[in-house]
Amino acid sequence: MDDDIEGLGPYQERPRTFPNMRNKSHAPLLFRALMRINVRVLLVLLLLCAGAIFYVGASTSPIIVFVFSVCIASFFLSIYLTKWVLLKDEGPPEMSQISDAIRDGAEGFFRTQYGTISKMALLLGLAILGIYLFRTTTPQQEASGIGRSTSAYITVIAFLFGALCSGIAGYVGMWVSVRANVRVSSAARRSAREALQVAVRAGGFSALVVVGMAVMGVAILYASFYVWLGVDSPGRMKSVDLPLLLVGYGFGASFVALFAQLGGGIYTKAADVGADLVGKVEQGIPEDDPRNPAVIADLVGDNVGDCAARGADLFESIAAEIISAMILGGTMAQRCKIEDPSGFILFPLVVHSFDLIISSFGIFSIRTKRESGVIGATEDPMEILQKGYSVTVVLAVLTFGLSTRWLLYTEQAPSAWLNFALCGLVGIITAYIFVWITKYYTDYKHEPVRTLALASSTGHGTNIIAGVSLGLESTALPVLVISVSIVSAFWLGRTSGLVDDTGNPTGGLFGTAVATMGMLSTAAYVLTMDMFGPIADNAGGIVEMSQQPESVREITDVLDAVGNTTKATTKGFAIGSAALASFLLFSAYMDEVAALSNVPFKQVDIAIPEVFVGGLLGSMLIFLFSAWACSAVGRTAQEVVNEVRRQFIERPGIMDYKEKPDYGRCVSIVASASLREMIKPGALAIISPTVIGFVFRILGYYTGQPLLGAKVVAAMLMFATVSGILMALFLNTAGGAWDNAKKYIETGALGGKGSDCHKAAITGDTVGDPFKDTAGPSLHVLIKMLATITLVMAPIFL
């Protein structure tokens, strides 16, 4: 790759020609194998697979058939969006050459990174198999004839399937971004609205595929296990117990998402920090300037960190929420002796099927002026995206009410469905408020970011102080909103009229689960807004590197600033949903421990010293993980800074366009370093709960406390969730605010680009980079992964 870059001839003769690094295909093996198959044969295979899926679905429930139909329709719609985006022109040759270099770097890193992750997943799968072959079976499993070996193989299959689907979701997110970026750049030469539409539809393609795969994967596993195990047949497993077998799917998705977020986050922010510190601050050249040796690595990082990792992240969020809600729905239906529990179990799948439908309306509501007939001044891109989100939210309220009436109506409590519909409304409102709060703290149209920008005028130190205080303050409102939503949803569910044999209300936890589903009922559109950000960022980089007119760069700068805000809002959305989903998984964990031990396990007493220590260890885990993630970015960025400085010293002609930078060297540095650095924090997250639970289990055995290991892990999970939510809110919001304070100054405020105020803002932005794109996003994945791993590894703690 380096030879290709160096063999382009004198830089001054070809100032607009860039490295063509596409020397081999970097597509994953699965995709390369599919591309080698004859089209007709592939079509026949797909039809056979679809027929088998619908046959299994029809043998399970008509609800599953509905879910399959909507998911497949969404896949066809995503194909239409792909063709629409790819039909757009790529602009002049210099744009496509830069895009090819970015694409090659992104696909090459993706292949290497996911090759490493897949090997680790296989090793962990073998470990899970060994644990489950020696685990204690539950009374329900013994009654249904499911032995240890069957349970072990089911869990491992679910784990590997979840990991595979999560990896595909990440690849889809990256695949579209590296092809859409140059088309957005080209569209920006014509109009801002067209560029916005191309970016949104590219993000919409990824969102529909990711959400559709998450729903389809759970539905396929549920239906397959239902048919294979003969569920609901005499003497066999009951459908209310089946969702517990799907936990491995959520764990597999979390495992891949965590390492994808860590590796991608380290890559993108190390390259970004290195490029900014030397290029902007030391050399005084603009962002994404072609003279900066780290610029290609920076643009590659947007795709592997913000697109591939975020696709896997949201996939994991939806999968974990669906499975936990199915578990709680089945448990409640069993306690209430509901005759047909399928509605309560499959309700999450239907909600997210409607999510695909309503988000499609939101995506298509963003059109060009020619299509919509709007004539007049240019609209604010953020307002256009907000209008699409408002359309999606209104439709979500309507479809959620329809879903609850269809599936949650029962003769035992005729008005229960209305209470659960209100729980869903609580979740939808919570999501909307979360988006608004994050936008307020990170958009430079509002006071907090402008105050932060003003602090830059008095130096680097005051910028850092103002950013830290803004991030700390920004945790208050989201926590209050989450608290109100959890309590409100719990009491709405509790007063639904559903009671157990003893007359005790049982709908509280399921009400919270329904609120979580409500919060994620617009997930596809939210992911669309999130994908919009890195695509717009890449488009701006391509425009700058290809030296397009300033008017084009102004359009992409506006889209980039909006993209920073949308990325921050979707991270806030993800944190809120992670808090609710972790609460559900924690409840499922306690039920699992009670089932395995045949001892009631309804509360955790932190007055017990060992249990309190478990809580402290959980909080410590969050801080240590964040520290390792940030330090990984710092160490890698130092390597990039040293390399960029070396090139500017050894190749002085770079600044005069007389020598070409060695882009490939920086790409190689960040790629190898990010793969190396992601292992330590990832291993900490996986090993810690298992070791803590096992050690305290041994201690409990010798001190006569049989459930001590499970109690300590429960405390660890509680404290880690609380600490992790607060830390993630702080990191994400502070980082986003620092970034947009810099963007605000670059619009010409407070001295504009190149001023001392701008340099101070760049320092704040570089501090915030690992906060918002590495440690922060990784934390909310960590929170959910801790919950799923404790659920899967529960037998070790007993």
Per-residue pLDDT reduced to its tens digit, 171-224? 887 888 888 888 999 888 888 888 888 999 998 998 899 999 999 999 999 999
Read off the pLDDT band of 141 (50, 70, 90): low
Determine the pLDDT at residue 17: 43
Report, as an integer, the average pLDDT of 555-568: 81
Read off the pLDDT band of 489 (50, 70, 90): very high
Determine the pLDDT at residue 3: 41
Per-residue pLDDT reduced to its tens digit, 620-658? 999 999 999 999 998 998 988 898 888 888 888 888 878
- Separation between Cα atoms, residue 727 and residue 686, nearest integer Å: 19
Burial pattern 740-769, b for ≥16 Cβ within 10 A else e, equals bbbbbbbeebbeebeeebbbbbbbbbbbbb
Determine the pLDDT at residue 5: 36
Give the relative orientation of helices 342-364 and 62-86 as an angle to the nearest 10 degrees: 20
Determine the pLDDT at residue 24: 47
Whether residue 7 has pLDDT greater than 60: no
Determine the pLDDT at residue 22: 45
Whether residue 11 has pLDDT greater than 70: no
Helix (H, G, I), strand (E, B) or coil at 505: strand
Read off the pLDDT band of 335 (50, 70, 90): confident
Burial pattern 54-89, b for ≥16 Cβ within 10 A else e, equals bebbeebbebbbbbbebbebbeebbeebbeebeebe
Among the residue ranges 18-22, 191-195, 398-402, the one predicted with the least confidence is 18-22
Q: Which value, to the nearest 10 degrees, does the dihedral of the CA atoms of residues 7, 12, 18, 24 take? A: -10
- State the amino acid at position 274 in one-letter form: G
How is residue 413 annotated by DSSP? B
Determine the pLDDT at residue 354: 94
Whether residue 143 has pLDDT greater than 70: no
Per-residue pLDDT reduced to its tens digit, 302-315? 888 777 777 888 88
- Separation between Cα atoms, residue 110 and residue 247, nearest integer Å: 26
How is residue 280 annotated by DSSP? I
Strand pairing partners for 67? none
Report, as an integer, the average pLDDT of 742-756: 85
Whether residue 9 has pLDDT greater than 80: no
Report, as an integer, the average pLDDT of 518-530: 88
Determine the pLDDT at residue 619: 94
Whether residue 225 has pLDDT greater than 50: yes
Determine the pLDDT at residue 26: 54
Strand pairing partners for 410? 413
Higher model confidence: residue 379 or residue 63? 63
Determine the pLDDT at residue 21: 42
CB atoms within 10 A of CB 426: 24
Report, as an integer, the average pLDDT of 262-288: 83
Among the residue ranges 30-44, 218-232, 509-523, the one predicted with the least confidence is 30-44
Determine the pLDDT at residue 464: 94
pTM: 0.86
Report, as an integer, the average pLDDT of 237-265: 86
Query: What is the secondary structure of 627-658 as a DSSP string?
Result: HHHHHHHHHHHHHHHHHHHHHHHH-GGGGGTS
Read off the pLDDT band of 404 (50, 70, 90): very high
Read off the pLDDT band of 500 (50, 70, 90): confident
Determine the pLDDT at residue 260: 87
Whether residue 325 has pLDDT greater than 80: yes
| H-helix segments, 747-775 | 756-770
Per-residue pLDDT reduced to its tens digit, 429-486? 988 888 888 889 988 888 999 999 999 999 899 999 999 999 999 999 999 998 999 8
Name the phi and psi angles at 287, rounded to 5.
Answer: -65, 140
Whether residue 106 has pLDDT greater than 60: yes
Read off the pLDDT band of 33 (50, 70, 90): low
Whether residue 95 has pLDDT greater than 90: no
- Separation between Cα atoms, residue 643 and residue 661, nearest integer Å: 11
